Structure 1
Amino acid sequence: MEIYYYGNKVYQLSYALPIYQKLGGTFVVNSFKKYLDFKRIFKNNNNKPSFFNHFKFTTFLNTPPVKIIKPEKHWKLNGTIIYCCNRLDLNSVYKGKTIYLEHGISDKPVGIDDVPSSIERLNKYDVILLSSPKNRIKYLESSNEIPESKFKKIGFFKFEQYQKLYELRDKELKRLKIKDTSRKNILYAPTWKFGNGTFEKYGKKFAKEISKEFNLIIRLHSNEMKLAKEFKKWLKNNSIENVYLSNSKDVINADTLNDFAISDLMIGDMSSVVYEFLVTKKPVIIAKHDYQKIVKMPDNMNIMKNASIYDDETNNIVDLIKENLLKPTYDVERIYENCFYNSIDDPIEIIAGLLNKK
């Protein structure tokens, strides 16, 4: 039976790439624009030895196969659909299984503005994959109607790539064209406006201050990469060096893990990447934000209760970075172990088994 991977945005599909690499399948997007985005990003990658070398069929621009099908038409697909965003159609009767794989483990609630359909969708999936116990807490807070039998622990299988990338970090330094490799690298990865991202508030301030002593890597949310061009122009006009923008839309060559591999500390806000960065066992600083709709998590799974909080009214960001590089304010390894299912053997095989079950 065929496997399909659906995402509203191309970056969401990156969370399904480890499954595609081993099991194959077809990606699905909802518009011609997203189709072109997919083709541009994945161009000539289907036969790369490090990615998809065992899928030798030919497609336009040599990408993994991709189709344009809107969610309300997904019922026509004869196979299993893995949703990397919560967009299952409530009115459809599907021919195969529907599986939910959330793109990340943020503390944002299910859905936007408490739309009831988002919660109803959770109840309809055949299987809900859990990267983290945080996922389970969030889903059960949204709906107490989800039976435990729908949950399947798989861990965060993208982490398998981290060690390989860490060993090739010289390549990542060259990708970003970092000039002074003797400096520590600070990664700033704000979320977008939906999560009250902090880039507009702190982007220029961090560039001015942090770049004096460190390299600053800025990873904008994929939805806000349109801001990069003007920001680069501002950097040039103000003669600010040692600031580098990573292209978050390029999920092949500039995935979050690629940036993690060369970063010594991360500054984040409400993006789930603050939790993903824990795989590095390096410190995180949270930039104070105004986002209020946060799912309550146990303290030992809540980065806000553990990491240093940067507030521009009371802190100096450079001093805070130095303090955390010397000694993080929390046990980095312990919170990593608390936030992820890390002892799952061969999660892709678990997923393959789910596909074969009726």
Structure 2
Amino acid sequence: MNYHYISHVLYQFIYSEPIYRELGGTFLVWRPAVRWKVYRDFRFHTKVGGRWLSLPRVRLVDRLNLPRLSGVLIANSLYELGGHRQDGLRTVLMYHGTSDKIPRASQEVVNQFDYYLLAGPKNEKRLTAAAGIDLDSPRLVRVGNWMFDRVVNGEYDLDRLRARFGLTDVSRPTILYAPTWAYGGGTLLQNFDHFVQTIPREYNLIIRPHYAERHLAPRLARRIPRKYRKHVMFANSGKPMHHHYIDNLVIADLLISDTSSMLYEYLITRRPIIISATDSDEVTTSDEGMSVPHVVDHYTGKEDILRLIRRNLVEQPYRNDLERLLQSCFYFNDGHSTSRCLDFLKHVPV
């Protein structure tokens, strides 16, 4: 079986990495800059026939006029594809992240795939509504969040990860600030100066800009007060395999975010979350029972952020609510979601 992976930007491809690692295949990109980034970041990331391959196979294509393909085409983003209705080819959406953002794509685009591998009820509700698909459709394949498996199975080395991100004072709790970008009302510039002048008084602070705002990091880093620089680190979201977002999650004791998918991905750690309040007409939080913003504390700029962090770390007032949200938003959470994906992809009828 041939496997192909297609997406818009580099960081979205990391949602195919657990599959690519086992099945190999070819990356399809429609932007030359992404091609070279895939070469750089996906070296030594697949084992085929019992050996690790060094360079990935990457092919530059016209996404609106795809070449002749066979096997399975796995997409991680919602962009219109053309020429994908081919004999011997099936298309599968493995969407990147779970959030409250309203898909920007049209119903026709969201509905263009043969199958949808679903991390949980939250994404199922959002994608089926956007695509106009019935919930009992055989096109929906419920596998659970395959990105959670490493966390559930404890497949990480905390000491190595802390060193990779520059955490030297492990006696302090670590706060992860991971805002989204303009799509969703990102709060990086809104909060940056106050956070770097306040949070490092008591805590380590890792700042993970969204991939679309990674270019801001060098300029912002110069605004960190000198006395706090050893306690403030930037995650390099421009190199998402080396500074993987899952690695950020497991070393953080508390997350601050706005409408980023990190709000929901972080649930698997069962640790506290604070919302950085924002306003965006591209987000809906109306789904009671599957909404982090309906449960946790919000920081609007008026509250004492240190007091808010301290309360959540010490009292953990929403522990039970966050556990309920984890079970409501994601299927299984048992460390075997990648295996379910692989089982389906190996046997998908083409």
TM-score norm. by structure 2 comes to 0.91
CA pair 287-109 structure 1, distance change in 2 beyond 3 A? same
Shift in Å at residue 343 of structure 1? Answer: 5.6
Alpha-carbon separation, structure 2, partners of 1:166 and 1:317: 32
1:63-74, aligned counterparts within 5 Å?
A: 63-74=55-66
Amino acid at match of 1:272: S
Shift in Å at residue 185 of structure 1? Answer: 0.2
Give the structure 2 partner of residue 133 of structure 1. 121
Shift in Å at residue 229 of structure 1? Answer: 0.8
Q: Does structure 1 residue 340 correspond to structure 2 residue 340?
A: no
Shift in Å at residue 163 of structure 1? Answer: 4.6
Q: Does the 8 Å contact 2:2/2:72 carry over to 1?
A: yes
Amino acid at match of 1:63: L
Deviations 1:194-252 (A, max 9, x none): 11100010012111110110000011111111111111222266764410001123232
Shift in Å at residue 128 of structure 1? Answer: 1.2
Q: Does the 8 Å contact 1:75/1:94 carry over to 2?
A: no
Shift in Å at residue 342 of structure 1? Answer: 1.4
Give the structure 2 partner of residue 5 of structure 1. 5
What residue ranges of structure 1 are gaps of 5+ in the alignment? none
Shift in Å at residue 40 of structure 1? Answer: 2.2
Give the structure 2 partner of residue 312 of structure 1. 301
Matched length: 343
Shift in Å at residue 278 of structure 1? Answer: 0.6
Alpha-carbon separation, structure 1, partners of 2:328 and 2:100: 15
Q: Does the 8 Å contact 1:134/1:297 carry over to 2?
A: no
Which stretch has the larger CA shift, 240-249 or 338-347? Answer: 338-347
User: What CA RMSD, in Å, does the superposition of the two structures yield over aligned residues?
Assistant: 2.2
Partner SS, residue 14 of structure 2: helix
Deviations 1:162-185 (A, max 9, x none): 256675110011111212110000
1:54-203, aligned counterparts within 5 Å?
A: 56=51, 62-89=54-81, 93-95=85-87, 96-111=89-104, 118-146=106-134, 148-163=137-152, 167-203=156-192
Deviations 1:259-300 (A, max 9, x none): 111110000111111100011010110100111332355322
Shift in Å at residue 55 of structure 1? Answer: 6.2
Identity %: 28
Say which of 177, 194, 218 aligns to 1:205: 194
Alpha-carbon separation, structure 2, partners of 1:325 and 1:53: 44
Partner SS, residue 148 of structure 1: coil
Partner SS, residue 163 of structure 2: helix
Amino acid at match of 1:281: R
Alpha-carbon separation, structure 2, partners of 1:167 and 1:13: 20
Q: Does the 8 Å contact 2:21/2:47 carry over to 1?
A: yes
Alpha-carbon separation, structure 1, partners of 2:167 and 2:260: 25
Alpha-carbon separation, structure 2, partners of 1:54 and 1:260: 32
Alpha-carbon separation, structure 2, partners of 1:326 and 1:42: 40
Q: Does the 8 Å contact 2:41/2:242 carry over to 1?
A: no
Give the structure 2 partner of residue 327 of structure 1. 315
Q: Does the 8 Å contact 1:235/1:241 carry over to 2?
A: no
Q: Does the 8 Å contact 1:109/1:294 carry over to 2?
A: yes
